[in-house]
Amino acid sequence: MSVFFSYILLGITLAAPIGPVNAAQLDKGIKSGFWHAWVVGVGAMIADGLYMLFVYLGVVHFLEVPMVKTFLWLFGFFILVYIGAESVKGGSGALTVTTRRSSPPLIHSFSSGFFMSLCNPLSIVFWIGIYGSIVAKTSAHQSIEQLWLYSAAIFIGVSLWDVTMAGMASGFRKYLSERMLGLISTASGICLILFGIYFGWEGVKALLEFRRH
């Protein structure tokens, strides 16, 4: 049981570092409330689950093909810059009561989280390093059931962090002034744009490297 809880803690620590998904959750929670922020995390978690499955099936090396990685970098650039620009546009100045009450469909929040995580090549490297080592260690010394149990524990940890982030983000809109919420939303959007610029730069470098070869 202690090992199980250690993998839950691993899932929390994997989800906790500030990145595009956490920035998007903060923005969605401020503008649209708990459920939108949580669904962003769910979308990202499903994308992470796909990468875990790819690692388990041994087909993740296809995602390391230079052309595929280039596509992921550049597509991630467009997604992040678009979402970030929308966030900055919506957060400029104070968030009005109308803005905060009119929420887009939940599927929009889900798809933004899903594609943000799916189009992040760093996730590929991340899950190869973390989950790949878990697969190697567990398959060598324990049963397949143990592997699925540890995988479930990681997902529980990620889910707990998603709920925490969604609660924090939606809580902000109850206690902070509308102008402050607008500033936080703008800051979240700028973070997303900066992440997008990084993705774009990496995509251009990967494209130039691919063309050289």
The model's pLDDT over 76-95, given as tens digits with 9 standing for 90+, comes to: 888 888 888 877 776 555 45
Q: What amino acid is encoded at 161 in this protein?
A: W
pLDDT score recorded for residue 40: 92
Q: What amino acid is encoded at 104 in this protein?
A: P
pLDDT score recorded for residue 43: 93
- pTM, two decimal places: 0.76
Distance (Å, whole) CA 80 – CA 24: 9
Query: What tens-digit pLDDT sequence spans the chain (213 residues)?
Result: 677 888 888 888 877 766 788 888 888 888 888 999 999 999 999 998 888 888 878 766 676 677 877 888 888 888 888 888 877 776 555 455 444 445 678 898 899 899 888 887 777 777 777 777 777 777 667 777 788 888 888 889 889 988 988 888 888 777 766 677 777 778 878 888 888 898 889 888 888 887 776
Closest to 87 measured CA to CA, from 42, 43, 36: 36
The model's pLDDT over 4-46, given as tens digits with 9 standing for 90+, comes to: 888 888 888 877 766 788 888 888 888 888 999 999 999 999 9
Closest to 47 measured CA to CA, from 21, 85, 80, 69: 21
Distance (Å, whole) CA 114 – CA 97: 28
